[in-house]
Amino acid sequence: METKAQENRREIDDYLQYIKSVRLLSERTVTAYACDLAKLGTFLKERDMGVYEVVFEDARRFSAFLLGHYHAPASINRTLAAVRNFYLHAFRTGHCASNPFSRINGTPRGRRLPSVLSKEEVQLVIGQPYVDFPTFRDIMMFNLFYSTGCRLSELLAIGLQDIDRPEMRILVHGKGSRERYVFLTPKTARMLDGYLPKREAWQLAHGVKNPSDRQALMLNLHGKRLSASSVHSIFRKYQLKLGIQKRFTPHVFRHSFATHMLDNDSGIRIVQELLGHASISTTQIYSHVSNERLRRVYERSHPHGRKEK
């Protein structure tokens, strides 16, 4: 006979299979749901409760449980959204009489402006010299991040078949299985022309046979597809080497790409398309960054704009 914890696990697994096979959510999204619903499973196991025994008061206790164990508002809100969706599905399929989380709100969270590199700081990074294939690969990667505004996962997934060199663009596979083209600056396109033969030679030297690795644009030291953890290590290495005091990550490059585009009078809708945002509201954070920079320049430059001390 199943314990309540085992029954809960089965019901959650069934839901994860549903969102994967019926709603066709991506592997990454399904994994995120699994992590969030595991927190619900832990909460219920500690109280020996069945997943469909939960009522509104239990939902409130779960929110308090999250506040006591997970401090980041974004993490708490994401978990509550996942659990709310789980119970909405349970209500629609007749497993429970109502959604106990329908009146549970997330924790308030202030919207923090993203960290952005200056154009001079970007130029310092992308203009670094390279002496061998690994350093060439590093600088190629930095240039691609800044030229395209790609997410880390998108850049690592780029295959040789995605590159449209005559049009100076690359097809990337974004969130929610959405595809879009991103574009190469002339400098990055020329750099890519030099990188591709060296990339091919590097793989041949390491005898790489796997078809997926053979198509990968970004390679590790063994000629295989570069991993996210390796990219973070590369960023950390150059941050220390160049003495960069700001946050320095692939996403900071993405922030910098968007902000510099807006600084140069690109419309926000264009930036939305280039970043692959489904909603314009996600992109509007960058207009706030751009406006904040304008305000600082005004206060620094206008003779009557300086704040009184």
Catalytic annotation, residues: 151, 175, 251, 254, 277, 286
Nearest CA among 61, 59, 51, 63 for reference residue 14 = 51
For the sheet containing 163-164, what is the strand order? 163-164, 169-173, 179-183
283 near 272, Cβ under 8 Å?
Answer: yes
**Pick from 40, 120, 110, 128: which is nearest to 80 by CA?**
40
Query: CB of 130 within 8 A of CB of 182?
Result: no
Q: How far apart are CA 4 and CA 62, in angstroms?
A: 17
- Rounded to whole angstroms, the Cα distance separating 4 from 54 reads 13
* Tokens, residue 100: 């106990």
Sign of the CA dihedral running 283, 289, 290, 295: positive
Number of H helices, E strands in the chain: 13, 3
